[in-house]
Structure 1
Amino acid sequence: MPQDNQDISIEVVRLAKRPQFLFVRSGRAERRKSLVVQARQRTGEAPGTHIGEGFTATKKVGNSVVRNRAKRRLREAARLLLPRFGKPGTDYVFIARDATADIGWTRLLDDMESALISLAAD
């Protein structure tokens, strides 16, 4: 049985190429303690076709083990929240911060949710 808006299926696709990340970088950004979320509306496409998601962590976050853990946490949080709070026709890039790998799970979810809501309210 579907819950509230989860019956609407929006496809979420992964951003993989550097030009896609650079496109999103010139859009809007919301910064939180545990992450940064960048978003930009796609152009030249029918609106509402899908949501794009990309993940990155710089070497300032830590060694490869810490960076990979941070990106895994961001991917899981985005899997849970992006279909509900993401705007169709928009690409999002989630950037890990120093606290991403170790911060509490509910705090990470709260930070991501508040950033997505702020980005959707334009």
Structure 2
Amino acid sequence: MMPPEAPDRNAGMKPPAVSVCLQTLKDRPDFLRAAQARRQSTVSMVVQGRERHDGDPAIRVGFTCSKKVGNAVARNRAKRRLREAARAVLPEAGRPGWDYVLIGRANATAARPFEALKSDLRNALSSIHGTRK
């Protein structure tokens, strides 16, 4: 038990980089399976998506940027922005039991306004799922 004057350790903390309902892809075979599935390009990213048939309802997401995006600092910045966009958009627009891979683009992912980045992700997801309006 904490003394009454001790601060709450969880107060003011941001949620994890990927939401609780999302899991991160880490294994190369998962990325390769997603690469063979549906794909949608936008101004700021490429989104690959595939439906899994393993009965697991989790939404899984992976992030990647090639060296074309820039040096390590630029690639990491682009992936941070993609992670934050996925955390904001995938819980509402993603489908349970799907894997998604978000691929950063050179000179676009890091420079695009964040609201436009989220909008690009929503549009790509609706196209992959066949629910384009």
Same fold (TM over 0.5): yes
Deviations 1:57-115 (A, max 9, x none): 00001010000000000000000000100011110000000110111111111111101
User: How many residues end up aligned between the 2 structures?
Assistant: 112
Distance 2:20 2:33 in 1: 21
Alignment gaps of 5+ in structure 1: 1-8
Q: Is the 8 A contact 1:57 1:96 kept in 2?
A: yes
Q: Partner letter of residue 36 of structure 1?
A: V
| TM-score using structure 1 length | 0.87
Q: Is the 8 A contact 1:15 1:53 kept in 2?
A: yes
- 2:77 matches 1:76: no
Distance 1:76 1:88 in 2: 19
Paired position in structure 2 for 1:62? 70
Distance 2:120 2:90 in 1: 13
What aligned pairs does 1:1-122 form with structure 2 within 5 A after superposition? Answer: 11-43=21-53, 45-46=54-55, 49-98=57-106, 99-121=108-130
Which protein is richer in helix relative to its size? Answer: 1
CA RMSD of aligned residues (A): 1.6
How high is the sequence identity, in percent, across the aligned residues?
48
Q: Is the 8 A contact 1:10 1:51 kept in 2?
A: no
Question: Where do 4+ consecutive residues of structure 1 move more than 4 Å?
Answer: none
Distance 2:130 2:96 in 1: 13
Q: Partner letter of residue 114 of structure 2?
A: W
Distance 2:120 2:129 in 1: 14
Alignment gaps of 5+ in structure 2: 1-18
Shift of 1:116: 1.1
| TM-score using structure 2 length | 0.80
